[in-house]
Copies of this chain bind each other. A is one copy, B any other.
Amino acid sequence: MRLSANTPIGDVVLCDAVLAPRMKQCFSVTIPSALEKCRETGRIDAFKLDWKPGMPRQPHFFWDSDLAKVVEGMAYAMLEAPNPELEKKLTEVVDLIVSAQGPDGYLNTYFTVVEPENRWKSLYVYHELYCAGHLMEAAVAHYQATGKRNFLDCMCRYADYIGTVFGRGENLRRGCPGHEEIELALCRLADASGNPKYAQLAKYFIDERGTEPNVFVEEAKRNHKDLAWPLINHQADRPVRMLTEAAGHAVRALYLYSGMAEVAMRFEDAELLAACRRVYDNLTERRMFITGGVGSNPHGEEITKDYHLPNDYNYAESCASIALAFFSDRMFQATGDGRYLDTLENALFNGILAGIDLKGDRYFYANLLESHPAVLLTGPMQLERQEWFGCSCCPTSFARFLPQIGHYVWEESAEAVSLCIPSPSVWKGRFEVSGDYPAGGSVKITALSSCERTLKLRIPNWCGKFSLRRNGEACVAVPEKGIVSVPGPIAAGEVLELELDMPIRLLYADLHVTNDAGKVVVARGPVLYALESVDNNAPLSRLILDPRKPLEIVKMPEAIASDLPAIRATGYQEEVRADGVLYSEKAPAALPTELLFVPYALWGNRGVSEMTLFVRTLPRI
């Protein structure tokens, strides 16, 4: 049931102007700075297990996951380019992590030194299985990058131990992760170790979730506590096969859905895949921000209701957009439908990249679509990207996600190879993609070796017109589910030229999204554009885009280091009253003006600025 799979990390080398620099910077800045933060804050020393009550830097119950994610990124960096200094650091940290494993296989710093009496007692509230999952993903990456088995074996022992605790068989207890993640990780561990029982354990956690009697309700009773959050916040209000809507804590939800899709493919579980489709459809048709952001309510960090997508007070956590990429990618692998790649690409170029600054070491945790420094409600974290957070999942998510981008660009199966994102890149020994995507839509694909299989080219949903030439000759290409198939064999040296029309587009939200009514988003290719007050007169709510006037591509402001263009539009600027009257009969006069848009993902790179993605426009009367 898996129609394609990711190429191994490191096989596809990016050489475009948008993604490649971010990945390089991830290796040179993001990962080293995150590792340093882990060191400073005690996240590394925690694995020495020598913390005692009263000492500073008490380990926190999610710390293990942070270091694990940085280690995962470090391993990918090794895959990209051997680096003895990095390898030394990696070995040190990995050896320390491995040394923290108990004789029974358990490995969790918090529950070893802070609350040893409470192991597995509060799955709902704490992140025990979540941390285990991230450690497993790190171990898989470490094994893939170095060939060393020590961390992988350590994690197999941990998974073996977990398998002796949780399940439905004799001497087992029912249980589920309070924060999902381990489902995906166990599947990866199964592949790396060659032991399919770990995928069985992933399937168990998925099947157990939300069944009656509810393990989390029982746990709360045992602990004499109320449930810290309603069951729906942790996707535990019903068996996951019965899900019809994307709901609850956004990162939890998307990790779960990714795990469900992965398990559905492995076990050819059509019922589970159907549930994935339902939540995916509900999410992308009614509950996702235009940026690929997910999570409308800061309280509970949760997905809320259909069409509740507030721009200036939301969550849209960077980790949630990254998890949406994981989920979308697996849905493409399961179905071959290009629409899932559209979501992945959209999240990548907008919601995800907005989460990290152009220098590579400042992050948004939550990503607003409209930011008003003057009337800020949500706190400085949304106003300016920060170096680190007490709960620092987002920075460490970048450390492990950015190095993986290449393996979303090309995917393959026994029958076909798929160019999912047409960014300039080299799939070592297989294909080369050149051009200036996403600054432009000209994509040239050269076969570096012969390929017997079908070559599948995604035609993005934003592209209304395209043409394809094979060795200079026009092809009749009719996309099916967003994919054009070029039949193999393709000989070494063959050239495919894909020309994606990339006009400036204006996007309108469904009118049920009440706060977007009368507004428009400027887009070009996969890139969404926003207004910043550093380029335009604040408050930005005074500006009106005239959709009848042409928009044009212009040079990016110099202070933004990017090869992407900026966009200039014509419109009106309403006059701000000077009378100090809050509500008055004086209608503001609207005078002609120009509006300068920059890519949303690049906002906030020139100091604190007001920003809006949705811009007022004129109705089509």
Which residues does A use to contact B, with CB under 8 Å?
284-286, 288, 290, 296-297, 299, 304-308, 310, 312-313, 370, 372, 374-377, 505-515, 517-518, 520-521, 539-542, 544, 547, 572, 574, 576-577, 580-590, 616, 618-621
B588 and A514: CB pair below 8 A? no
A372 and B514: CB pair below 8 A? yes
A588 and B285: CB pair below 8 A? no
Given the complex, which residues of B lie within 8 Å of A305, measured CB to CB? Answer: 374-377
A306-B375, A376-B305, A585-B507 known; A590+B514 contact, CB < 8 A: no
- Smallest Cβ-Cβ distance to A579: which chain B residue: B510
A297-B377, A584-B507, A588-B511 known; A619+B574 contact, CB < 8 A: yes
For the complex, give the distance between the alpha carbons of A286 and B589 in Å: 21
A542 and B517: CB pair below 8 A? yes
Given the complex, which residues of B lie within 8 Å of A372, measured CB to CB? Answer: 308, 514
A576 and B620: CB pair below 8 A? no
Say which residue of B290, B313, B544, B621 sits within 8 Å of A518 (CB atoms): B544
Say which residue of B506, B512, B572 sits within 8 Å of A619 (CB atoms): B572
Given the complex, which residues of B lie within 8 Å of A517, measured CB to CB? Answer: 539, 541-542, 574, 616
- Copies of this protein in the assembly total 2
Question: Which one of A517, A520, A544 has the greatest number of beta carbons of chain B within 10 Å?
Answer: A517
B376 and A619: CB pair below 8 A? no
For the complex, give the distance between the alpha carbons of A540 and B590 in Å: 24
For the complex, give the distance between the alpha carbons of A375 and B308 in Å: 5
Question: Which one of A307, A510, A521 has the greatest number of beta carbons of chain B within 10 Å?
Answer: A510
For the complex, give the distance between the alpha carbons of A308 and B371 in Å: 12
Say which residue of B299, B509, B582 sits within 8 Å of A284 (CB atoms): B582
Say which residue of B313, B376, B572, B584 sits within 8 Å of A621 (CB atoms): B572
Question: Which one of A304, A507, A508, A539 has the greatest number of beta carbons of chain B within 10 Å?
Answer: A508
Given the complex, which residues of B lie within 8 Å of A586, measured CB to CB? Answer: 508
B511 and A620: CB pair below 8 A? no
CB distance from A615 to the nearest CB of B (A): 11
For the complex, give the distance between the alpha carbons of A508 and B587 in Å: 6
A313-B313, A375-B306 known; A514+B288 contact, CB < 8 A: no
B510 and A582: CB pair below 8 A? yes
- Smallest Cβ-Cβ distance to A305: which chain B residue: B375
CB distance from A608 to the nearest CB of B (A): 15
A517-B542, A544-B619 known; A307+B374 contact, CB < 8 A: yes
For the complex, give the distance between the alpha carbons of A620 and B513 in Å: 25
A515 and B515: CB pair below 8 A? yes
CB distance from A262 to the nearest CB of B (A): 26
A305-B377, A620-B589 known; A539+B514 contact, CB < 8 A: yes
B582 and A286: CB pair below 8 A? yes
Say which residue of B306, B585, B616 sits within 8 Å of A505 (CB atoms): B585
Q: List 16 A-B contacts (CB under 8 A).
A: A285-B582, A297-B377, A308-B375, A370-B514, A506-B587, A508-B583, A510-B582, A510-B583, A511-B541, A511-B574, A513-B582, A518-B616, A520-B587, A589-B620, A590-B619, A618-B619
For the complex, give the distance between the alpha carbons of A506 and B587 in Å: 8
A308-B377, A377-B305 known; A581+B514 contact, CB < 8 A: no
A375-B304, A582-B284 known; A542+B572 contact, CB < 8 A: no
B510 and A581: CB pair below 8 A? yes
A583 and B507: CB pair below 8 A? yes
Given the complex, which residues of B lie within 8 Å of A297, measured CB to CB? Answer: 377
For the complex, give the distance between the alpha carbons of A376 and B514 in Å: 12
CB distance from A331 to the nearest CB of B (A): 17
- Smallest Cβ-Cβ distance to A283: which chain B residue: B582
- Smallest Cβ-Cβ distance to A506: which chain B residue: B585
CB distance from A65 to the nearest CB of B (A): 27
- Smallest Cβ-Cβ distance to A542: which chain B residue: B511
B375 and A620: CB pair below 8 A? no
Say which residue of B288, B296, B585, B589 sits within 8 Å of A582 (CB atoms): B288
B313 and A580: CB pair below 8 A? no
B510 and A576: CB pair below 8 A? yes
A512 and B374: CB pair below 8 A? yes
For the complex, give the distance between the alpha carbons of A375 and B305 in Å: 5
A521 and B312: CB pair below 8 A? no
CB distance from A592 to the nearest CB of B (A): 9
